[in-house]
Amino acid sequence: MNGTSTDRTVKRGVRYYDGSFGYVELIIDDFLPTSRWGYLLDLTQMEWLPYGSGAQKTPLPNLGGGPRELVTFIGAFKPGDVRAQILIKPSDA
């Protein structure tokens, strides 16, 4: 499928398949590495987990308004069981 643009609007398609292996929703995404690859993800397997030590606090100087802190958090998705995730990559890519 190709996205077509008309009057500054990109029209994209969403397809639904319900077969013997289950229900699949296909969504065209502009941020894939290449238009020839595709991914099937079982979102029930995905988990959002902290990366490294999780949240970290850094004290900031008190400028007369009371104590301040900078809180940083880095998180990452864990795919869960990798057998539930599929990469579609043509052999000539």
Q: What is the pTM of this model?
A: 0.42
Contact indicator for 23, 44 with CB cutoff of 8 Å: no
Whole-number pLDDT of residue 8:
54
* Apex 3 CA angle, 91 and 15, nearest 5: 75
pLDDT < 70 stretches in the chain: 1-14, 28-33, 93
In angstroms, the first-to-last Cα distance of the chain is 17
Closest CA to 55 of 78, 74, 76: 74
